[in-house]
Amino acid sequence: MTDFNGEILVVGDGGWGTALACLVAANGRSAVIWSYDPDYAALMQRSRSNPKFLPGVELPPAVAVTSDPGRAFARAALVVFAVPTKYARSVLDRLAPAYNGAPVLSASKGIEPDSLLTNSALVRERWSPPAIAVVSGPSHAEEVARGKPTTVVVAGPDTGFIAAVQRLLSNDRFRAYTNPDTVGVEIAGALKNVIAIAAGISDGMDLGDNAKSALITRGLAEMRRLGVAMGAIPDTFAGLAGMGDLITTCISPFGRNRRVGLELGRGRKLSDILASMEMVAEGITTTRAAVRLAERHRVEMPICYEVHRVLFEDKPPRRALLDLMTRSLKSELEDAGGER
């Protein structure tokens, strides 16, 4: 309990950040959630809940909510940065004057489409924290908040820091494992949202579990290809932050990215789908980044490319998935241990 002397500050009022605040509170720590929206912060503080992003979960007394940067950082011993990639840079810059130099745990999954920075790299660039780690794994916020057994990976270069984060988060229902492979964990965490859109499209077209499993399998193969080209450890992709998180994201009814794909597969337009969603489907932004990274590192990523065409080039999902099934399966020949 002496690892972080002070409060745990969660930056961002989303479901995952809120679940992590509840988790550290359950572990005996005080937490404060910072929301950019004063009205919503007040509503959360008053109602002891996060009705938009984590409905039905009561905030424990040890969790406070504020929109005041000064209050947020006043006693912060660790910053959990849980802001969608889309807003990450502006939030980091807005909070920079108040940032107190505490170490940072990045809890968002995504890649900034212009800079191609992962969230931890972006935090490092904007805040230069003394230590930084990322948390990832099969961990739907709704299940974590309801005390369902969950396992995650905490990755970072500083072994002392990631061990301290591991102790902070772990309890008998939530287990954190450490991994030195930040790049692999972040690439896997970001790209799985793109594959989840593809899996959702397959579900929306009612193609069945055989096709969906093939898509998930091929999806992990292309995630690993890119990760390894960027310096990741291949086995990270066979672990909880790779395969584990990908499966949860592709099968869970909670998944926002899968749901976007599902509606696309049923024939709805992206703009209509987005207009009806409160939450950010991170995979939409990540798809742009994935395609640019694939080009930069000269890696074949047929699923990411087809999702890009559906999202941004008006390609009919049916056509994309047909092309995908054919092409991506052809490419299995080259990289999967002797299959041809």
Residue positions annotated with a catalytic role: 192
| Alpha-carbon gap, residue 55 to 138, rounded angstroms | 20
24, 17, 25, 23: which is closest to 41 by C-alpha?
Answer: 17
Exactly one of 248, 257, 286, 287 binds a copy of itself (CB under 8 A); which one? 248
158, 172, 113, 147: which is closest to 294 by C-alpha?
Answer: 113
Exactly one of 24, 133, 191, 207 binds a copy of itself (CB under 8 A); which one? 207
* Dihedral angle of Cα 304, 305, 310, 315, to the nearest 10 degrees: -160
- Token pair of 250, please? 């592709």
The reply on whether position 148 binds a copy of itself by CB under 8 A is: yes
2, 59, 1: which is closest to 35 by C-alpha?
Answer: 59
Exactly one of 144, 198, 307, 311 binds a copy of itself (CB under 8 A); which one? 144
Per-position x/- string for 280-319, each x denoting binding to a copy of itself as judged by CB under 8 A, each - no binding: ----------------------------------------
Per-position x/- string for 151-170, each x denoting binding to a copy of itself as judged by CB under 8 A, each - no binding: x-x-----------------
Q: How far is the CB of 38 from a copy of itself (least distance, A)?
A: 33
Would you say 100 or 178 has its CB closer to a copy of itself?
Answer: 178
> Quick check: helix, strand or coil at residue 170?
coil
User: Alpha carbon of 135 to those of 40, 165, 240, 281: distances in Å?
Assistant: 26, 9, 11, 19
| Alpha-carbon gap, residue 242 to 223, rounded angstroms | 9
Residues 173-192 that bind a copy of itself (CB under 8 A): 175, 177-181, 184
Residues forming contacts to a copy of itself in the complex (CB under 8 A) are 137-140, 143-144, 146, 148-151, 153, 175, 177-181, 184, 207-214, 216-217, 220-221, 233-236, 238-240, 243-245, 247-248, 251-252, 254, 325, 329, 332-333, 336-340
